[in-house]
C-alpha cells in the first residue's frame, strides 16, 4: 500500500479504543528500536510511556524477535488440549519469577482475558458471586473485567454486557483521600473500610486490586496498605487477586509490584511486558489449592488461543532478557532518578499538583489550583469528548518528539526499562517546556 493511503484507510474503516471516533488522526508508525519509534515522515519519537505501558524491553529486542520467528517455523499453533515444548518452558520459567506459591497457570491473549479467567476461577472455586474492587481501577473490557473496573470506561458501557456483583471500595489515594484524612494519622482507613465491607456484605468471592494503580494515576499505596488488605481478605476467607498487567515485569523495580510489600495473592494476572508486548499473552497464575479444586470438578473456561505456542516462546526469551540486562535493578535505580527529575520540574510549575511513582512508573497530575487541588478536567469531560488540557500538553510533547500517555488529568510516564539517563533527561526537558501550556490555564 502506498504510504499516503495508510492513515486515511485506517481512519475511515477502523474503530479506535476508548474515545469518540470523530477527529481521530493517527500517526503512521513504521518501525521501532530501543526507546524510540519512527513515523512515515521520518520523525524520530522518544517513547516515554512504552506505548501503553507495555514495551518494557523497548522496541525490536533481537532475542524476543528471534524466538517468535523460530516458533513460527517450528510450530505456529497447537490446540490447548496438547502439550508443547513452549508451554512447558514458559511454565518452568514462570516458576522462577512469580511470587512463591503461584505456580498453576492459565494462558490467554490479553490482560483483559487474564482477569476474566481469574474472576471466573474465584467465583466457581468459592461458590460466591460478589467481588470487591476499587473506584480508581481498570481491569479490562470484557463482561466480568469491565464490571470490576471502577473508572469511566465501566460507566460508558453500563448497563450492557456486565456481570452483577461488584462492590467498590475506597482508594488508597493520599493526594485525594476519600475520607479527607492525612497519612499516617488516618489509621489506613481505606483498608479498614474493606474489613467493614467484608464483615457486612457477605457472599464475596474475591477482592481485585492493582497493587500500584495503573492508568488511573499510578497511585502507590502507603506501606501498610497491601499487607493489611491481605490480612483482611484472609480473615474473611476472601481470595485476593493482584492485577499486575501494568506493574509486572520490572516496571516498578521488582518482578511484580506485590514483591515490594511481601504480599502473596491467591491469584496474579499479568500481560503486556511478559513478552515485551511483541505478541499478545495473558497469564493467570493461581495457587495449587485453587487448581486442586478443579481436579474432579469441571473447569468452565477456555478458548481457541489458550496456550498458543507463538505467544509462549517469546515470553521465555523475554524473561531471559530481563535477567541478562539486569532490568529490574536498573528500573529501581533509574526510577529514583526519573522521580527526582519530575519532582524538580514539577516544583517549578504551578499546574503540577502531584508527582508520584515507583520504579520506571510515574504520574504527573495537573491541577487548575494547586491549593484546592482542582483538576483541569474530569472523567465526564473525557466521556463527552471535550478537549482535555492534559492532551494539549501531550500533543506539545509529541510535536517536540516525545510521546507520553495522557489520561483525564495526569500524564503516565513509563519509558522502556532500557531507557538511558540521557533519554530520561530528554523526555523530562520536553515535559518542562510543554507544561507552560498548563501553567497559562491555572487559577491565580
- Nearest-CA neighbor of 430 among 394, 397, 392, 389? 397
Residue ranges of alpha helices (H) inside 96-211 are: 111-126, 143-147, 152-157, 189-201
- Nearest-CA neighbor of 318 among 255, 242, 239? 255
Domains, the chain, in order of start with CATH, read: 3-57+326-439 (3.90.1150.10), 62-324 (3.40.640.10)
DSSP assigned state of 90: H
Total-model pTM:
0.97
Return the pLDDT at 162.
82
Which CA distances in Å does 386 have to 216, 364, 369?
18, 21, 20
- Nearest-CA neighbor of 210 among 143, 128, 114? 114
Alpha carbon distance 270, 34 (integer Å) = 23
Return the pLDDT at 6.
96
**DSSP secondary structure, 199-268, as one string:** HHH--EEEEEE-SS--TTT--PPPTTHHHHHHHHHHHTT-EEEEE-TTTTTTTTSSSSGGGGTT---SEE
Contact 391, 377 (CB under 8 A): no
Question: From start to end of 299-419, where are the E strands?
Answer: 352-357, 362-369, 374-375, 402-403, 405-407, 410-413
User: Exposed, middle or buried by CB within 10 Å (0-12, 13-18, 19+), for 52?
Assistant: middle
Return the pLDDT at 439.
98
Contact 286, 104 (CB under 8 A): yes
For each of the chain's 444 residues, which pLDDT tens digit applies?
898 999 999 999 999 999 889 989 999 999 999 999 999 999 999 999 999 999 999 999 999 999 999 999 999 999 999 999 999 999 999 999 999 999 999 999 999 999 999 999 999 999 999 999 999 999 999 999 999 999 999 988 887 778 999 999 999 999 999 999 999 999 999 999 999 999 999 999 999 999 999 999 999 999 999 999 999 999 999 999 999 999 999 999 999 999 999 999 999 999 999 999 999 999 999 999 999 999 999 999 999 999 999 999 999 999 999 999 999 999 999 999 999 999 999 999 999 999 999 999 999 999 999 999 999 999 999 999 999 999 999 999 999 999 999 999 999 999 999 999 999 999 999 999 999 999 999 997
- Distance, C-alpha 83 to centroid of its chain: 30
| Strand, coil or helix: 166 | strand
Alpha carbon distance 225, 238 (integer Å) = 17
Amino acid at each position: 500500500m502506498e504510504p499516503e493511503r495508510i492513515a486515511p484507510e485506517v481512519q475511515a474503516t477502523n474503530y479506535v479504543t476508548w474515545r469518540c471516533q470523530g477527529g481521530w488522526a493517527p500517526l503512521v508508525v513504521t518501525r521501532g528500536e530501543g526507546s524510540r519509534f519512527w513515523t512515515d515522515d521520518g520523525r524520530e519519537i522518544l517513547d516515554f510511556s512504552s506505548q501503553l505501558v507495555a514495551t518494557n524491553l523497548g522496541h525490536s529486542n533481537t532475542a524476543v524477535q528471534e524466538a517468535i520467528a523460530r516458533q513460527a517455523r517450528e510450530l505456529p499453533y497447537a490446540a490447548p488440549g496438547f502439550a508443547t515444548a513452549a508451554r512447558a518452558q514458559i511454565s518452568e520459567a514462570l516458576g522462577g519469577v512469580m511470587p512463591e506459591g503461584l505456580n498453576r497457570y492459565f494462558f490467554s491473549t490479553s490482560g483483559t482475558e487474564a482477569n476474566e479467567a481469574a474472576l471466573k476461577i474465584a467465583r466457581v472455586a468459592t461458590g460466591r458471586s460478589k467481588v470487591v474492587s476499587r473506584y480508581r481501577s481498570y481491569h479490562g473490557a470484557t463482561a466480568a473485567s469491565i464490571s470490576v473496573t471502577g473508572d469511566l470506561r465501566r460507566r460508558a458501557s453500563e448497563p450492557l454486557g456486565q456481570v452483577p456483583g461488584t462492590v467498590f471500595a475506597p482508594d488508597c489515594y493520599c493526594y485525594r483521600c476519600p475520607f479527607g484524612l492525612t497519612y499516617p494519622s488516618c489509621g489506613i482507613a481505606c483498608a479498614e473500610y474493606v474489613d467493614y465491607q467484608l464483615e457486612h456484605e457477605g457472599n464475596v468471592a474475591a477482592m481485585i486490586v492493582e497493587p500500584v494503580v495503573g492508568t488511573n494515576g499510578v497511585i502507590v499505596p502507603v506501606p501498610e496498605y497491601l499487607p493489611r488488605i491481605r490480612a483482611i481478605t484472609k480473615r474473611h476467607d476472601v481470595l485476593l487477586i493482584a492485577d499486575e498487567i501494568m506493574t509486572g515485569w520490572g516496571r516498578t523495580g521488582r518482578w511484580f509490584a506485590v514483591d515490594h510489600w511481601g504480599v502473596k495473592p491467591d491469584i496474579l494476572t499479568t500481560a503486556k511486558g511478559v513478552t515485551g508486548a511483541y505478541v499478545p499473552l495473558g497469564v493467570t497464575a493461581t495457587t495449587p489449592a485453587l487448581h486442586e479444586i478443579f481436579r474432579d470438578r469441571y473447569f468452565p473456561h477456555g478458548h481457541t488461543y489458550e496456550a498458543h505456542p507463538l505467544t509462549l516462546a517469546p515470553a521465555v526469551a523475554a524473561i531471559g532478557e530481563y535477567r541478562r540486562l539486569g532490568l529490574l535493578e536498573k528500573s529501581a535505580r533509574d526510577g529514583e532518578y526519573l522521580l527526582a527529575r519530575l519532582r524538580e520540574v514539577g516544583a517549578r510549575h504551578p499546574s503540577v499538583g502531584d508527582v508520584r511513582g515507583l520504579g520506571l512508573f510515574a504520574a504527573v497530575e495537573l491541577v487548575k489550583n494547586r491549593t484546592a487541588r482542582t483538576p483541569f478536567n474530569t472523567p465526564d469531560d473525557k466521556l463527552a469528548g471535550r478537549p482535555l488540557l492534559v492532551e494539549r500538553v501531550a500533543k506539545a510533547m509529541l510535536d517536540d518528539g516525545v510521546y507520553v500517555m495522557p489520561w483525564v488529568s495526569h500524564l503516565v510516564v513509563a519509558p522502556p526499562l532500557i531507557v538511558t539517563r540521557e533519554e530520561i533527561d530528554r523526555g523530562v526537558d520536553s515535559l518542562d517546556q510543554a507544561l507552560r501550556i498548563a501553567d497559562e490555564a491555572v487559577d491565580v
